[in-house]
Structures are given as structure tokens and as C-alpha cells.
Structure 1
Amino acid sequence: MSDTATPLDSRRLYLRLLGYVRPYWFAFVAAIVCMGISSIVEPVFPAVMKSLLDRGFSGATGRLDWLLYPLGILVFFIIRALLGFVGDYAMSWVSNNVVSELREAMFERIIRLPAHYFSDHTSGRLMSRVTYDVSGVTGAATGALTTLVKDSLSVFGLLCWLVYLNWKLTLVAIATFPFIAIAVRAFSGRLRRISRGIQESQGVITQVLQESIEGHKIVKIFGGQDYERERFVSTVQLQRRLAMRATIAAAAQSPIVQFFAAVALAIIMAVALRQAANDQTTVGGFVSFITAMLMLLAPLRRLTDINATIQRGLAAAESVFTVIDEQPELDQGTIELENIQGKIEFDSVHFTYPGATDEALKGVSFTTQPGECVALVGPSGSGKTTIANLLPRFYPVSQGAIRVDGENINDIRIDSLRSHIALVSQEVILFNDTVAANIAYGARRNASREEIYAAAKAANALEFIETMPQGFDTLVGEKGVKLSGGQRQRLAIARALLKNAPILILDEATSALDSESERRVQDALDTLMQGRTTLVIAHRLSTIENADRIVVMQHGRIVETGTHAELIVRSGVYAHLYQIQYAQEERSRDEAEKTGANDLHRHLQRQ
């Protein structure tokens, strides 16, 4: 949606919004009927006032009028209150269901969006749209409609009564309506623009809050509290200023309406008093007219205020439907993979990330046989992780083809392709759930406890799981914060073991671990890799010396291929990288030994 939506765009947007109300039409109609009856009988009260004043204070009342008039008014207000309650409850039920449907539709689309979408949009803004913007939609979808129906009927009924009482005076009141409409229209565009700004600032607030909470350790250790506070305060203050502008724009309408109403009322009173002096109206008629006029002001004010609600709702609807209308991952595949062997072929693959100018991969070709372990090595930015992203079709290849068991992955259904691939990466994703639920995740969520136990045992995870307070039923915390890095990695390996996929991607799965954790994780990985076609993206070259084949990459191209021994003999890029790492590891060991010897010497001196 553009920022300057035309009236036609607004109508289409509003009609689309009302489409979400359609499934609940029965409750919606019931609410409208109850509110309609409650509103259309508004003239009853001024009519009773006319009869009461003309008869009750003129001595022309019957013997029971002193009782019937009060009881009539009491019954009238009780019935009106009950109808209003039923109408409000039914409309609220519809409204909450619409919110739920929109949130479900947004979440359904978000989890099926392509990977590049999440690179281009902050998670805070997405969360704000699902939690904050959707709530604003209900104002336009049901709240504004409720006011429109309820108050329009009240205005209609009261105007009919006014025409019945004195059509000349009523024309004076109606003459003010065009001026009110012009004022309302003048504020519409400004309200929509301000509402968009408020929604954007809410997304920034959510983003800053999320980053500060998740990165609290970095904030503390680098003294970032003042910086984060300034970021948060500036965004909050921006939203406050926008909210005040919206308040000014919305509140300015009421005085304008009241001004024109006051002018009309003053003229009406002057004419009515003149008519009364000429015996052209009764006291009851005059009081009834003034009462109806005063009763008319409240629904008129709400009808003018409804513009602000509609504009906020339409701005929110633009944001919501922008997400819902995003194109999901392209999936034109029709082939279902079954009992695959695990052969992988990269055939002259070129790839450029969305928005980038340089190619990340430039004609990459290699073949991995079933059950073979192929390691991808090279400096940062060489294209290793890109290969890992292309195989599960997180991104579509720009040119060339990737095949699994001879089938182009573009011809395979995405769900079918990914069901045969397991991933263990350096950045382990765990959910704030139990240990068992994190192992038996997704398609394997109904796995038996015996299967979960076996996977954890094979991943060398039982030793720490069984020491936890509730064992497999222990909550791991947000992103597994209650676990160490090695423990998180072993849960990820257990998850991959339970999936039992024939193709395995290991994306620097041990690079961030200490030596002891790396040894345990590597043992678990060795178990996981057995009988599977494995692509290993390695940072520490010592961990892939036993790979069946090593593919060396540089600047998006394959520059060397062979076993560890073959590549060392060639004295090429791999040998150079290996020598650098070997020298670094030697220095680290020498420093550790020197530190240990000094500690021992100081200990002996103290003895």
C-alpha cells in the first residue's frame, strides 16, 4: 500500500477488512439489530417529555398518569440497557474473533516467507505488527461500524421526531451537516499519516527492547546502558509526539462540530421562542424539540470522532495486509522424495543474494556420493554457508542446478526436500520448552519417550539431562539460556538423530566450543554422521582431517578438491590455511603449558 492511499484504495481496504467479519455474520447481525432497536427508539424519551409537559402539568392527566409515566420511562431505559448489553457483547465476540483470525493469518504467512524477507525486515517490527497493529484494526472492522450503525440510527430517529415536531427548525439543524462533513474530510489524510508513523515507532520500540533484553550481557559489559536508554527514550518520545499530533487532529473535530451545533441551537431557540410567543408551539413541543436536539449532539459527536478510529484502523489494516500479501516461498515442485540414497550434485551453480551486486557463488560444481562426508573449507566470505543455504532451498539458485538423487531440487516439493535434511549449526536454536520437546521437535513431536531417550544417549546428552531437576521435562529457558554451549549443541545433535534424515548439514557445529565440550560434541557428531551424506562447513581444519573429501573455496569458487593428505602435499590454499591454524594452535598450547608451569612453580614456592 502506498502512503497516499486514494479513496478507492480505502474502500477496498475496508471491504477486505469486513470480509473477516463475514464468518460471524449471525452474531454481527444480532449485535446490529440489538443496537439498532436500542438507537431507533431514542425519540421515545423526548416524545414522553412532550406528552408529560403538555398533559401532566396542564391538569389534563388521568388518575394513573402519575404512575404510568415514571414506570414507562423506567421500563424504556431497562429494555434499552439490555439491548445495548447484548449488542456490545456480540460485537466484542465478533471483534475478538477477527483479531484472532488476522493474527493466525499473519503468523501462517510469516512462517512461510522466504529467508531473504527476514534479512530485510527487523523481527521487532514484525512482532509489533502481529501484536500491536492487529489490535488497531478492530476499531475500523467492528468498533467504527458499531458506532456508525448505532449512532446513525439514533440521529435518523431523532431527526424524524424533530421533523414531526417542527420541520422549519429541523432544516436549520440539517444545514450544518455539510460544514461538519468538510471539516471531517480535511482531517482524514493527516490522521492516516500520523497513525502510520505511530505504528512504525511501535515497531522500533519493540526492536530496541528485544535487542536490549537478549543482549543484556553485551550491554552490561560494554557499558551500553546509557546508549540503549537514549535509543529507547528517543523512540518513545517520537511516538508520544505523534500520538499528541493524532490527538490534536482527532480532538479538533469535536469543537468544530460543537460550534456548528451551537450556532444551529442558538438560531433554533430564537425561532422557537418567537413561535411560542405567537402560539405556534407548546411548551411541551419546545422542550421536546430542545431535548431531542441535545440528544442529537452526542451521536453526532461520536459520528465525527469515528473518522479518527477508521483512519487508525485503516493504517493498521495496511500494515497487517502488507504482511499477509507477501509472497511465500516459491514452491513449484511436484516430486515427493521417498527412500532417497543421498547423492548431492551441484552443477555450475551461481548465486547472488537479494540486493547484492557481487555473486556469492560463481559456477560451483561438485558431487557428493551417498554416505560420503564432504567438508567445505575456506576463508570467511568464500561461499561455504551459501552452499548450506541453497541445498534446503532457503534461497533459489540464480543459475545452474542442484540435484538430490538426480532430481532437480526445484522440481521437488519444499516440504519433501527438507524432510530428508537435518541441520546442526554453530548458532543452536532451542525453544523455551522442555528438553524432550526440543529434541522431538516439529514433524517428530509425537515421538515416544524411548525414541527421545535413545537419541539423547547417542548424542552424549544423557549425562547432563539426567542431572537436571525434572530430567527430560526440564525447561531449557529462552534460547536454551539455562544450558552451556556444549549442552545446547548436543541437544541439537539429538534432534537431528531423532529426525534420522539421510542428508546432514553441519555448519561450524563445534567452532564456538572449548576443547572438552568440542570432544564430546565431536563424538556425538561422529555417531550422527554414520551412514549419512554429510556436508561439513568447518572452521577448525583439524576436525575434518578424516573427511572423505575436502572442497576448498575462495571468492565463491572451488579452488581445490581432495583428501586431507592430498591437499597437504599440493601445498596450495588448504595447506596454507592448515599451517596457519596449526601454528596458532601450537602457540596456544605452548602458552597454556607455560601458564601451567608458572602456576606449579608458584605453588611449590608457597610450600
Structure 2
Amino acid sequence: MHCVQSFFSAVFGQRLKEMVSLNYLKHVFDLPLPFFYTRKIGEITSRFADANNIIEALANTIITIFLNIWIALLVGLFLFLQNAALFIISLTIIPIYALIVIGMKDLFVVINQEVMESDAVLGSTIIESLSGIETIKSLRSEERLYEKAKKEFHSFLLKKINYDKLDYIQQSLKAVVKQVLNLIVLSVGAFLVINKSMTVGELFTFTMLLTYFMGPLESIVSLQPKLQQAKVANNRLDEVNTIQSEFAKSRRVKKTDRLDGDIVVNNLNFNYGYGARTLKNVNFRIDKGSKVAIIGMSGSGKTTLAKLLVGFLESDDKDSILINGYDINSIERNALRHHICYVSQDDFVLSETICENLVLGSGKEITLKELRSACKIADLDSYIMTLPMQYDTLLSENGGLLSGGQRQRLAIARAILSPAKVLVFDESTSNLDVLTEQKVLDRLLKLETKTIIFIAHRLNITKKMDRVIALEHGSVAEDGSPSELLAHKGLYSSFLGI
């Protein structure tokens, strides 16, 4: 019976794991970007362990209850028919078990919450430390980070031991109750044998069958700690699942071809949470096919503006950003990002081949000729062709085979291969030397069908642009062609040191 129960639990658990874990992962992928700004990666990934706790509890509960209730009912009926008095005495274990379970329920909730939160903190510290191992070694901070992880690991172990203690106390209490009940049953049974109300054989049979009656009951009661653990895990999953997907909101503009036009920003304001305003009454226009640079001091709102244009962040102001006349908040997010491609300073590289990385987000079959053409624009093709597997070369985690500049050029080539008509480069050439940057820039500016927006610190980039928008303290300080702004002798000129 135990083998059958274990088999069905494993099979049922696999089905549940696929459903719960994949649904959680899909929901996480669909969450808006601000969610990830306020959560550590370890806290998000720890929910997968929570999902496993839920699955294990559900699988065990359903199978255990389904099988054991029938066994308990059948054996119980036989025990009742054999000796009703002894059976009624045996049933007293049920309310006693229930009292033990109910009495310790809140304690299990608290300790489970502490264990899961401590595990999430520890996981976050380890992930962050390994992700930043180069910086840690550079600053000789290995010991400090180790001590931090050690402290959090000890905290996790202490909470886990507290949970094990509580579970052991509950199991011990149930064992004591069971032994006392067995003693009472044997004592009453011996009295009945002495009074010749039952034979020794009947008492022996009753006590043997009582084991088969108590076993299923114990299995059902033993589910309580796992159910409590699953309840806490479910609450932690709900903290993420109740956050609305960025694709849940109904938006009327769903076709990309309706977006091919100018970008207009009207009185745009934005602040993160309850903080001070990052952008204040921003106004400008970017014509279709134009090449524009957005410059400003650090903290002036350049990256925030870029992320608003691609829908990573969202302003509450109606019609504050219009794309071909459509309010950006009315545009379905996949359609918006099909039209506008955002390339960050540290763009992501998958542990896949160069080719697979390049076609990520292209949405169509890309020929080798198209791959090479895009990489020539990004000045990367000559390097790729020197590799043994060329475009089929497998990259390690986060593009370890490539230098910082080569990763940026791969991201630029990937953007060129995307179907986007608007390319937003946020410091995407910061790791390139001046000569390579100039070559890549000149080639990008020849893409007549693309609207290109550069978020730049290096002002040499701006000299060949159609327009320069200078931000200062979240507002547009200057807007015009490079020659106009130079003649104006304002902020742009001061940036250039003229």
C-alpha cells in the first residue's frame, strides 16, 4: 500500500509541479519592470521552493486522504462489529489529535514564515555575491561577504532547528497519546477477557487490527505540518501572483503598423513612488526617421525618459507620450516593444550561440547574410569570423567569451535585426573605444528607415545628430540641432567645454 501511495503521489506531484511552477514563472515574466526594481532575485527564485512545498502538500494530502479514509472506514467498521466498546474508546484519539493540531497551528505558521523568509534572504545574498564576484575580489571583500552569508546561514539553520523542534514536540505528543490509548484498550480488553465478555484471541485480533486503523489516522494527522507549510508558501506566492501583469490591462492599439510615425512628448511628469519628481513638464518631438541625442548630467532623467518611451515605466498623465498620435498607455505592450527596441548599457547575453543571441526578439527567420550585415554595422563580424564555430560559437553565462565592448556591439546588432522602427541606445557604446564608437555611429546614422535615439554622456556622439535634447534636473533645458545649440552658448556648449 505504501508503494502504491508513493507512486501516485509522485505522478500527481509532477503534474502539479508543472502547472504551479510554470504558471508562476510565466507570471513573473509578465510582471512590469518596477516589480524587479524592488525585489531581490533570491526572493523571487525562493518562491519556486515555496511552489514545491505546496505541490508536495497537495499531492500527499489528496492521495493520503483518498486512500487512508477508505482503509480507516473499512477497518473501523470491522472493529466496531467485533467490539463496539473498545472501538468507541479508540475513537477518543481523534479529538485529542485534533486538539494537538489546532493548539500548535499558529506556532507552525509563524515558524514556517520565518524559515522561508530566512531562506530567501540567504539565497539573495549568495546570488548577489556570485553575480558580483569580480567587484568583490577587486575590493578584497571575500571575507566580508562570506561572513555575511555565514551569519544568514546560521540564522536560517536556527529557524529550521526551531521548526524541527516544534515538529518533534508534536510527534512526541501524538506518540504519547497513542501509547496511552493502547494501554487503555489493553486494560479494558483484559477486564473484558477476565469477565469472559471476549476471548484472548478476539482481543489479540482487535489490537492487531487497531494498528491498521490508527496508521491511516496518523498519516492524515501528520499532514498538518506540511499543510501549514503549504499555507505559508501559498501566501508568499500570492504576494507575487496578486501583482497585476503588465499585459493584463486592456489596450486598444494592438497592431504595430499603426505606430509608424512621430513621437511627441507633452508635459510629461514622472516620479518613482512617493519620491521627488524625476521628470517635470518635459516637451519635445522626434520626427520619424530622425536621429536624436538626449544628453544631461547623471540624475537628470535620461534613462527614466527612455524607459517611459518603451513602456518599462508608465506615467499617469494622459496623452503625455504620443506615438503616431496614439497615447502610449493605449498601446499593447508587445506591440510597443515590437516598434521600439531599448538597448541598455549592460544588455543581457544568453548562454547560447552567437546566432541565437542575435536573433533573440527578431520574430522571423534571419539569414546568415542578414546576420553578417547587422554585425558589420556593429563592427563585430570580423571578430566572429575568427572564432572556430563563427556564428555557431557557444557563449558562456552573460557572454563570458566576449569583452564588454563586444557584448555591447552584439546588443547593437541584435537591435538592428529586430523589427523595431525606433532604436533607443542608452549608453550602449560606453565600453567602445572612440574610433570603434565613431565607426559604429556613422553606420547607424545611415539607417534611413530607423528612428534612432541616443542617450549619451560622450558628447562627440551628438555632433552628427539631427537634434540634441539637453535635460537638466528633469526638465528640457535646450532642444535643437547641434549647430543651433552651439550658437546659443548654453548648456550644450558648457558640456562641450566651449
Q: Which residue of 1 aligns with 2:462?
A: 544
Match of 1:251 among 157, 168, 171: 168
Q: Give the direction of change, closer, same or farther, for the CA distance of 1:93–1:443 in structure 2 (3 Å limit).
A: farther
> Is this contact kept in 2: 1:347–1:402, CA < 8 A?
yes
Q: Of the candidates 369, 378, 381, which is equivalent to residue 459 of structure 1?
A: 378
2:116 is aligned with 1:199: yes
Distance 1:232 1:577 in 2: 44
Task: Give SS of 2:292's match.
Answer: strand
**1:327 match:** 244
How far apart are the structure 2 equivalents of 1:191 and 1:383?
47
> C-alpha distance in 1, partners of 2:188/2:336?
82
Offset, 1:500: 4.1
Q: Which residue of 1 aligns with 2:408?
A: 489
SS state at 2:257 partner: coil
Give the secondary structure class of the aligned counterpart of 2:22: helix
Q: TM-score, normalised by structure 2?
A: 0.94
Q: Is the 8 A contact 1:486 1:521 kept in 2?
A: no
- Mapped to 2, the partners of 1:104 and 1:222 lie a distance apart of 39
Asked if 1:437 corresponds to 2:332, the answer is no
Do residues 215 (structure 1) and 135 (structure 2) align? no
Quick check: 1:277 aligned with 2:169? no
**Paired residue total:** 495
Aligned residue type for 2:80: V
Letter in 1 for 2:270: F
2:279 counterpart letter in structure 1: L
Say which of 133, 148, 152 aligns to 1:231.
148
User: 1:19-38 residue pairs with structure 2 within 5 A?
Assistant: none
The structural deviation recorded for 1:366 is 0.6
Instruction: Identify the residue that residue 18 of structure 1 maps to in structure 2.
Output: none
Higher helix share: 1
Q: Secondary structure at the match of 2:454?
A: strand
Q: Give deviations 1:140-162, integer Å, cap 9, x for gaps.
A: 21112222333333333332222
Structure 1 residue 266 displacement after superposition = 1.7
Aligned to 1:118: 36
The letter of the residue matching 2:81 is: Y
Q: Deviations over 1:72-117 (max 9, x none)?
A: xxxxxxxxx5xx5455333322211111111211121111111111
Structure 2 CA distance for aligned equivalents of residues 573 and 458 of structure 1: 32
Q: Which residue of 2 aligns with 1:348?
A: 267
Deviates more, 1:532-541 or 1:456-465: 456-465
Amino acid at match of 1:386: T
Equivalent position amino acid for 2:102 in 1: R
Distance (Å, rounded) in 1 between the aligned partners of 2:69 and 2:267: 68
Counterpart contact for 1:486–1:517, Cα < 8 Å: no
Aligned: 1:511 with 2:394: no
Instruction: Look up the match of 1:23.
Output: none
Partner of 2:24: 106
- Residue 320 of structure 1 aligns to a residue in which SS? helix
Structure 1 residues 429 and 172, CA gap change in structure 2 (3 angstroms):
same
Corresponding position of 1:150: 67
Shift in alpha-carbon separation, 1:445–1:223, aligned structure 2, 3 A: farther
Give the letter aligned to residue 509 of structure 1. Answer: S
Asked whether the equivalents of residues 426 and 456 of structure 2 are also in contact (C-alpha less than 8 Å), the reply is yes
> In structure 2, what is the Cα distance between the partners aligned to 1:287 and 1:339?
84
5+ residue gaps, structure 2: none
The answer as to 2:9 corresponding to 1:91 is yes
- The TM-score, its normalising length taken from structure 1, stands at 0.78
Q: Which residue of 2 aligns with 1:567?
A: 485
Residues 517-528 of structure 1: matches in 2 within 5 Å? 517-527=436-446
In structure 2, C-alpha distance between the alignment counterparts of 1:439 and 1:273, rounded to whole Å? 82
Structure 1 residues 517 and 208, CA gap change in structure 2 (3 angstroms): farther
**Contact 2:361–2:418 (8 Å) recurs in 1:** no
Query: Could you tell me how far apart the structure 2 residues matched to 1:408 and 1:532 are?
Result: 21
1:373 maps to which of 270, 287, 291: 291
The answer to whether structure 1 residue 161 and structure 2 residue 78 are counterparts is yes
Give the whole-Å Cα distance in 1 for the aligned partners of 2:404 and 2:183: 78
Report whether the alignment pairs 1:242 with 2:152. Answer: no
| Equivalent residue, structure 2, for 1:480 | 399
**2:227 maps to 1:305:** no
Instruction: Quote the offset at 1:487 in angstroms.
Output: 1.1
Mapped partners of 1:175, 1:486: distance in 2: 74
Paired residue secondary structure (1:419)? helix
Determine if contact 2:310/2:342 at 8 Å carries over to the other structure: no
Deviation by residue 1:531-564 (Cα, 9 ceiling, x = unmatched): 3222211101111111111111111111112222
Given candidates 391, 396, 407, the residue that maps to 2:309 is 391
The match for 1:184 is 101
1:532 is aligned to 450
Tell me, which stretches of 5 or more residues in structure 1 are unaligned? 1-80, 583-607
CA shift, 1:340, in A, is: 4.8
In 2: Cα distance, 1:356 partner to 1:510 partner: 33
On the 8 A contact 1:352/1:359 being kept in 2, the answer is yes
RMSD of Structure 2 on Structure 1 (CA): 2.0
Q: 2-side partners of 1:501 and 1:267: how far apart?
A: 80
**Which of structures 1 and 2 has the bigger CA Rg?**
1
Identity among equivalent positions (%) equals 27
Q: Is 2:135 the partner of 1:135?
A: no
* Inter-partner Cα distance in structure 1 for 2:214 and 2:400: 59
Whole-angstrom distance in 2 between the partners of 1:331 and 1:267? 64
CA contact (8 A) 1:195 1:315 kept: yes
Corresponding residue SS for 2:229 = helix
Q: Name the CA shift for 1:511/1:380 in 2 (closer, same or farther; >3 Å).
A: same
Contact 1:551 1:561 in 2 (8 A): yes
